[in-house]
Amino acid sequence: MENSLVNKVAASGLVTINLESYFPKQEIENFDLKQYLFMELILKEKDFREALASIDWSIYQDKVVCVYCSSDAIIPVWAYMLVTSYAQPFAETIYFGTKENYIQYYYSQIINELDCTEYELKRIVIKGCSEKPVPPSAYLDITNKLRPIAQSIFYGEPCSTVPIYKRAKV
């Protein structure tokens, strides 16, 4: 009698989606306006303009620049415009918000544009435990996108999954 090992995970027909593989490739830098404010609260136009003019903007070359203010200051809209006018010749993308906000936005865009026809009526595992900070909203968005077409959706690793959704048998 021949004893052959069978990889049940490979034979299960599960399709794995690793959201970490969609993580932005560009470096993402936060640009906090707080450090350019008087007492970290008041924007003085002349000082603000001088401070921005003295920055070596080339450090943002080909990066995503996330512009925000972490203090509870009232920032005029033109201040964000001025930062953008300095950063734009160097940055690949300029985003209003923090790095975390940008990553959430980025994943939302990627998942929205994802062609999911290959997942129709498939058993799908959304891989968990990533080394990069995949936002929880990405897991929500991918579930929302796949639920109408998938046979079933699981979270985790193919060898140990948490069931999320299973299509009712008709």
Reported as a single tens digit per residue, the pLDDT across 5-45 is: 444 444 457 999 999 999 999 999 999 999 998 887 888 99
Q: Considering only CA atoms, which of 80, 68, 71, 82 is closest in space to residue 29? A: 68
Q: Considering only CA atoms, which of 153, 121, 151 is closest in space to residue 139? A: 153
Buried b (16+ CB within 10 A) or exposed e, 32-61: ebeebbeeeeebeeeebeeebeeeebeebe
Per-residue pLDDT of 109-140, as tens digits, reads: 999 999 999 999 999 999 988 889 999 999 99
Strand ranges (E), the chain: 14-17, 28-32, 64-68, 93-96, 123-127, 152-157, 160-166
| pTM metric for this prediction | 0.84
Q: What is the pLDDT of residue 128?
A: 85
Hey, where are the domains in the chain?
A: 8-24+102-166, 28-91
DSSP H/E element including 44? none
Pairing of strands 152-157, 160-166: antiparallel
Q: Is 88 helix (H, G, I), strand (E, B) or coil?
A: coil
| Position 2 confidence tier, pLDDT thresholds 50, 70, 90 | low
Contact 126, 139 (CB under 8 A): yes
Q: Considering only CA atoms, which of 80, 88, 78 is closest in space to residue 33? A: 80
